[in-house]
Each structure stands twice: as structure tokens, then as C-alpha cells.
């Protein structure tokens, strides 16, 4: 009789999505569920950590029930349970980790730890079914803007990260200045379609030095604020902007972020001599970013994989990276802990 393929349950609760999926060793998705908390955090203009962890507590069991229902499997049909334990919000990570440990104990399953950032890059491996490594990894999300040399799926060396705001965070904050809803990325992107990306000459932060692979979006955010308010001390919301001015601000800001991300990627390719780029994270869903990065790949002749739209923002399918640890025999004990901060290994 043919042996049934390895099946792993993956759990993601690092920020504001409660997600679970079941994948098999061929990286096929047998079930996947994401319960978003956008509706809860919207009115605060960003994720409120305490509210996020409470919402994860309410959602984790229904989300798990749903993946078992969708797949027609029970915990005893699984070969392992995997969970994101780093990086993320402490209270949020704890909810997923506790659920994973309970399942591992009850169904006598091995426990696997997932690094959320490595998983964002692995979304490309799941989607494109091609060998990606070694590659340059770019993660652009609400919490991270980072470049990595990725020797393998679980072997990353950091090359540069943000010294202040992440790219997605800048999108969210500029959106708030323009009275757009949270999350700001999709709203800015829609508004920018009607705007002129050259209307405002915003800075492309730290792009002049090819050896510096760090990002910084805080100054750009302040430049947008001053473009709206002028030199006075007014609040952005008190300034009367025309529809065209708002669209021009959105388009010019977006262009500055996109140019910076593309420019830094080119610097990193030169520095590392890598020829493949893999990109994941919520900001990678941005259309202008995808278009300009694709054009850069053609011009500079590198292989480019950007996670498909549905796998850019947080999800558990990218947790298929657990298969790599399963194959390598990298299992955790039930004393596995969360590591909320970035691990620099
Ligand atoms: O990866 P993600 O779901 O969560 C984190 O791990 O942070 O990313 C969320 C971020 C938010 O800041 C959101 O504004 C941004 O991704 N985002 C976008 C777009 N869609 C989501 N930014 C720019 N353009 C988009 N289309
Ligand atoms: Zn993420």
C-alpha cells in the first residue's frame, strides 16, 4: 500500500490575523483559513496588541475547527503541528503557541517552530514550485523592511533592516494623514491611481550609498506631513486638500517608497552577487511595487519571485516552511517559547 504523504498543520498568530492551514509534503494546500482582525483595529488606525491577543483567543479554536472540517482530517491524521513563535506581538504569538502545544500533546504530534519572516519568503516556494535558493530575500510588511541573504529556506543572514519605520507602517501612517482607512497600503494604492507620482519630490531615503542596505522611512513620512501642513503647526486633518492634491500626495509618496525598495534591492544584488530575488510581506501586494520590480528584473537580468497577492499578507499557507524543518528532523520540546523580537542569527 502507498504511504500517505506527510501532513502538517500550521498555525499563524503573530500579529492580527488568526490563521491555520494543512499542507502536505508536496506543498499542496489541503485546507486554509484566515480570520482577519482588520475590522477590530480599523478605528484605532493600527493594531492594538492587547486587543489583538484577545481576538486571537476568541478565534483560534473556530479557525482550527474550520481547517479540520475543510480537509476532512482529524488531528490524528497529521504528522506534525507547526506554529510561528518569532517574531511578532508577544500576546498574539502566545495564543498560537499554546494551541499548538495543546494539540501536540493531545494528539502526540511533533512540534515545529516557524520563523514568520522566513515563512514570508517561503510563500514564493509554495506558489511557484521552483527552486529559489540561494536568493536575496526582501520582506516588506507592516512590521518589517528587511533584506536577507537566504542560503536555504531556514538559513538567512540579515543584510539590512529598517532603522525606524517599516514600509507598511509608513503606508499606514501616511494614510492616516490623508484620512484614509486602516490598513493604509491598499487605500493609498487606490488613491494613487488618480495621482501624479512626480507632483511632489519626496526623498528616496538612504539610496545614495550602495553599501548601506538599511531602510529608513520615518523622514519620508515627515516630508509628506510637511507637504500637507506647510511649515505651521497644523494637524493634517485640519488642512483642506483638493481630491487631486490628495491623489498626487498618495502617488508621490508611493513612488518614493517603491523607488527606495527597488533601489536597495539592486544595491544588495550587486553586493551579494546573487541572481534571484524573492519577495514577501503585505507591501509586496502593492501594484506599483510589483510593476516596477518586474521592470527592474527585466532590465537588470535577475530571476524575480514575488509572493502572489493572497500570500503577501499574513497567512498560514506560507507556514509550509515547516516541511523543511520536518525533513531536517528539527523538532521542539513542549517548553518551546516565543521570541517576540527579531532574532539576529
Ligand atoms: O505582512 P502583513 O500582513 O503583516 C505584517 O507582518 O506586518 O503586512 C501588513 C502591511 C500593512 O502595513 C499594510 O498597509 C501593507 O502591508 N499593505 C500594503 C498593501 N496591502 C497591504 N502596502 C502597500 N500597498 C498595498 N497594496
Ligand atoms: Zn507578516
For residue 299, the tally of other CB atoms under 10 A from its CB is 9
Burial of 43 (0-12, 13-18, 19+ CB in 10 A): exposed
- What's the mean pLDDT when you consider all of the chain? 95
Question: pLDDT tens-digit profile of 273-326?
Answer: 999 999 999 999 999 999 999 999 999 999 999 999 999 999 999 999 999 999
pLDDT confidence of 342, banded at 50, 70, 90? low
Q: Which residue has the higher pLDDT, 148 or 129?
A: 148
CB 184 near ligand 1, within 6 Å: yes
Q: Which is the closest atom of ligand 1 to the Cα of 144?
A: 7
Instruction: State residue 344's pLDDT score.
Output: 44
How far, in Å, is the centroid of ligand 1 from the Cα of 112?
26
Percent of the chain with pLDDT over 90: 88
Q: Which is the closest atom of ligand 1 to the Cα of 17?
A: 3
Q: Which three cell numbers stand for residue 278?
A: 524573492
Q: Which three-class secondary structure state does DSSP give residue 96?
A: helix
How far, in Å, is the centroid of ligand 1 from the Cα of 77?
34
Instruction: State residue 129's pLDDT score.
Output: 84
pTM, 2 dp: 0.94
Q: Which ligand is nearest to the CA of 183?
A: 1
How far, in Å, is the centroid of ligand 2 from the Cα of 243?
32
Question: pLDDT tens-digit profile of 241-271?
Answer: 999 999 999 999 999 999 999 999 999 999 9
Region 15-26: mean pLDDT is 96
How far, in Å, is the centroid of ligand 1 from the Cα of 229?
26
For residue 85, the tally of other CB atoms under 10 A from its CB is 25
Q: Which of 34, 173, 280, 313 to mutate to test the pocket of ligand 1 (most atoms within 8 A of CB)?
A: 313
Region 117-146: mean pLDDT is 95
Place of cell 486571537: 56
Region 83-109: mean pLDDT is 97
Q: What is the DSSP pairing of strand 145-152 with strand 155-160?
A: antiparallel
Q: Which is the closest atom of ligand 1 to the Cα of 287?
A: 26
Q: Which ligand is nearest to the CA of 192?
A: 1
Instruction: State residue 1's pLDDT score.
Output: 60
How far, in Å, is the centroid of ligand 1 from the Cα of 282?
3
Amino acid at each position: 500500500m502507498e504511504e500517505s504523504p506527510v501532513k502538517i498543520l500550521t498555525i499563524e498568530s503573530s500579529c492580527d490575523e488568526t490563521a491555520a492551514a494543512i499542507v502536505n509534503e508536496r506543498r499542496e494546500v489541503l485546507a486554509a483559513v484566515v480570520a482577519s482582525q482588520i475590522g477590530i483595529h480599523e478605528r484605532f488606525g493600527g493594531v492594538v496588541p492587547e486587543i489583538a491577543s484577545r481576538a486571537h483567543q476568541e478565534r483560534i479554536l473556530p479557525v482550527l475547527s474550520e481547517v479540520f472540517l475543510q480537509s476532512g482530517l482529524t488531528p490524528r491524521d497529521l504528522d506534525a503541528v507547526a506554529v510561528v513563535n518569532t517574531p511578532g506581538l508577544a500576546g498574539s504569538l502566545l495564543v498560537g503557541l499554546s494551541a499548538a502545544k495543546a494539540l501536540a500533546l493531545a494528539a502526540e504530534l511533533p512540534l515545529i517552530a516557524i520563523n514568520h519572516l522566513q515563512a514570508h519568503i517561503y510563500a514564493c516556494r509554495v506558489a511557484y514550485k521552483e527552486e529559489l535558493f540561494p536568493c536575496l530575500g526582501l520582506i516588506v510588511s507592516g512590521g518589517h523592511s528587511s533584506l536577507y541573504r537566504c542560503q536555504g529556506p531556514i538559513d538567512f543572514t540579515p543584510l539590512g533592516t529598517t532603522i525606524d519605520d517599516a514600509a507598511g507602517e509608513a503606508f499606514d501612517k501616511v494614510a492616516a494623514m490623508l484620512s484614509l482607512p486602516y490598513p493604509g497600503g491598499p487605500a493609498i494604492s487606490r488613491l494613487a491611481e488618480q495621482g501624479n507620482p512626480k507632483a511632489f519630490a519626496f526623498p528616496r531615503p538612504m539610496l545614495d550609498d550602495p553599501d548601506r542596505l538599511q531602510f529608513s522611512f520615518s523622514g519620508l513620512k515627515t516630508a509628506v506631513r510637511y507637504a500637507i501642513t506647510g511649515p505651521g503647526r497644523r494637524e493634517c486633518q485640519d488642512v483642506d486638500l483638493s481630491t487631486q492634491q490628495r491623489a498626487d500626495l498618495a502617488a508621490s509618496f508611493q513612488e518614493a517608497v517603491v523607488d527606495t525598495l527597488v533601489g536597495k534591492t539592486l544595491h544588495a544584488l550587486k553586493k551579494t552577487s546573487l541572481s534571484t530575488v524573492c519577495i514577501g510581506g503585505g507591501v509586496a501586494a502593492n501594484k506599483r511595487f510589483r510593476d516596477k520590480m518586474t521592470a527592474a528584473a527585466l532590465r537588470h537580468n535577475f530571476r524575480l519571485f514575488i509572493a502572489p497577492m493572497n500570500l503577501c499578507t499574513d497567512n498560514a499557507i506560507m507556514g509550509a516552511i515547516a516541511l523543511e524543518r520536518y525533513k531536517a528532523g528539527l523538532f521542539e520540546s513542549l517548553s518551546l517559547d516565543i521570541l517576540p523580537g527579531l532574532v539576529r542569527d
